Amino acid sequence: MINLILFGPPGSGKGTQAKKLVEKYNLLHISTGDLFRYEMGNDTPLGKEAKSYIEKGELVPDSVTVGMLRNKVEANPDVAGYIFDGFPRTIPQSEALDALMEEKGTAVSQLIMLDVPDEEIVKRLLERGKTSGRKDDMDEGIIRNRIEVYKSETSPVFDFYQEKGKAKKVNGVGEIEQIFERLCSEIDALV
Ligand code: C5P
Ligand code: MG
């Protein structure tokens, strides 16, 4: 199996690139943000709980996010691998993911970070907010909070996998196709 973590700040292009990668490598794309938005759209108890955090640009508690991720993985056992997008976002989530993969007889293959400067992120998210319908993309204050949360809670995940020799960084600025090529060279080096 190839199990990738597509990593990077909000608006770094994880979702866009994951969609292209699943076609090429035949992997299952799991975006925890999309799963939360689906639950919110259906006004489920999980959606209601997640909403209170998401609309402030904060993280949903680990136990909730990990439980939802586990359900999604277990509902799709017969795949060539997974692309985790927007997960793990904390060290406890990383530990839970490693344990889950081990339980399934596999492991995280690589974390690849899309590196994008803060000001570019703010610009991209405000632009996306014009059409995404996402409240958390429409308010500069919420966007800046998401960037702060990324720095304080999420960026240690990069070091966590780097210590295991499993973290790579690619330049996330440029044309979509160009960035896709950068990701593919990292992935092709794994297989
Ligand atoms: O990944 P994405 O940017 O779509 O996530 C949107 C929001 O969902 C995040 O800003 C955060 O509030 C919540 N989220 C979370 N934990 C995750 C993934 C997403 O709290 N692992
Ligand atoms: Mg996304």
What domains lie within the chain, and their CATH numbers?
Answer: 2-190 (3.40.50.300)
Q: Which residues fall within 8 angstroms of residue 170, CB to CB, at 6 or more apart?
A: 112, 113, 114, 115, 179, 182, 183, 186
- Tell whether the model's pLDDT for residue 65 goes beyond 90: yes
- In the block, which residue shows the tokens 């889950």? 100
Give Cα separations from 101 to 5, 46, 119, 126 (angstroms): 12, 24, 35, 35
User: Which pTM value belongs to this model?
Assistant: 0.97
Protein residue whose Cα sits closest to atom 6 of ligand 1: 33
- Tell whether the model's pLDDT for residue 129 goes beyond 90: yes
Ligand nearest to the CA of 134: 1
Ligand 1 atom closest to residue 53's alpha carbon, by position in its atom list: 12
DSSP state letter for 11: T
| Cα–Cα distance, 44 to 16 (Å, whole number) | 27
* pLDDT, position 131: 96
Q: Does ligand 1 come within 6 angstroms of the Cβ of 53?
A: yes
Ligand 1 atom closest to residue 60's alpha carbon, by position in its atom list: 20
In this predicted model, what pLDDT tens digit does every residue of 15-43 receive, in sequence order?
A: 999 999 999 999 999 999 999 999 999 99
Environment class of 64 (CB within 10 Å of its CB; exposed 0-12, middle 13-18, buried 19+): middle
> What end-to-end distance do the CA atoms of the chain give, in Å?
10
* pLDDT, position 191: 80
Tell me the pLDDT of the chain averaged across its residues: 97
Which two tokens mark 75? Answer: 């509902």
Count other Cβ atoms within 10 Å, centred on residue 41: 9
Which two tokens mark 87? Answer: 């997960």
Q: Mutation test of ligand 1: which of 64, 89, 97, 128 has the most ligand atoms closer than 8 Å to its C-beta?
A: 89
